[in-house]
Amino acid sequence: MVGASRGAAIVKKRKTLDDVAHLANVSPITVSRALRAPEVVSPELRQRIEAAVEKLAYVPNLAASRLASARTHSVGVIVPTLYNVIFADYLRALHEVFLDSGFQVVVVNSRYSASEEEKAVRTLLGQRVEAIVIVGVNHTPMTRRLLRQARIPVVETFELSDEPIDVNIGLSHREAARDATRFLLGLGHRQVGFLMGQNDIRAAARLEGYRAAMAEADIDCETLVFTQAQPSTISLGSAIVEDAFARHGMPEALFCIDDHLAFGAMMKCRNLGISVPEQISIMGFHDLEFAGFASPPLTTLATARFEIGKMAAETVLAQIRGKKSTAPKRIDMGYRIVERGSTARKK
């Protein structure tokens, strides 16, 4: 029985670099070199080593490799949530660029919390990532200090900062919301409502932009802001509209802080027998894929989420590779209004 247990322990023992070297009949340093840079060994050696790795199901000791080379070939990415599809295109772009260049992406969720973001930064730096890409520009003083002292590429995205830590790629949510509200006002609507869920930093900036546009038009909008402090979903958009219309009556138009709320608002209007856009114009934000296929198709403000992620990744790779860049440290990716069938000029 003891002998059997001992044999099982040997079978389960993790395979080492030496095991691979022994099976391939080469030195451990040759195996290490072949795994780090396959092109430096002959095709015949590479084939023998790869066969040994596959037969033994060998997994390299990344911790030891990192200590030896000071390279991790990993990039940290911090997003405020993993549950909102708004970040799907952004993360897809980051993964496509980094994975194709031999870098792994470590994604951490800060849960819209500055303190959680600080913990995420500490965790990623402790894992010796070679760069950090982060959604947002509002950080704790310690987070800024940690990122500045790390001496690695840092890219802040999705928003614009007057004092970027390193590189900043995003858009002004305040100006985007102001222009969206101006668009609805330009259609002749005066009673333009504002729909929002959870009041995070970007949502607050859009609310500020909405209020600025309404003030320019000399319209008191405080009773036109409809909100419930929950993450944005289609069902929340429906619930807010039902409650708002029961309490305050129906406005002439609605600007929603994202397409999920806008779609939910349209569905509730349909259930209530309110015609869109004949009786009310509805506008979203982001131009998610479903927006153009809604009924009616949703007017929205398009943001360059994929392009922001792609440029952030390419910027990081250029810095890691030591390439000099003439690009500005602060890049405004802008936005555009996409007019579709959910809005119409007031008759």
Residue 8 confidence (pLDDT): 47
Residue 68 confidence (pLDDT): 53
Q: Partners of 78 in the beta sheet?
A: 108, 134
Residue 218 confidence (pLDDT): 97
Contact (CB, 8 A) for 341 and 278: no
The model's pTM: 0.81
Measured between alpha carbons, how far is 77 from 129 in angstroms, rounded to an integer?
A: 10
Residue ranges, the chain, pLDDT below 70:
1-12, 61-70, 325-326
Structure tokens at 36: 């780090």
Contact (CB, 8 A) for 89 and 58: no
Residue 328 confidence (pLDDT): 79
pLDDT in tens, 139-192: 999 999 999 999 999 999 999 999 999 999 999 999 999 999 999 999 999 999
Residue 89 confidence (pLDDT): 95
Residue 39 confidence (pLDDT): 74
pLDDT in tens, 230-260: 999 999 999 999 999 999 999 999 999 999 9
The three-state (H, E, C) secondary structure of 26-90, written as one string? CCHHHHHHHHHCHHHCCHHHHHHHHHHHHHHCCCCCHHHHHHHHCCCCEEEEEECCCCCHHHHHH
* H or E element that contains 335: strand 335-338
Taken in order of first residue, the domains within the chain and their CATH numbers are 2-60 (1.10.260.40), 70-171+305-334 (3.40.50.2300), 173-302 (3.40.50.2300)
Measured between alpha carbons, how far is 16 from 26 in angstroms, rounded to an integer?
A: 14
Residue 1 confidence (pLDDT): 46
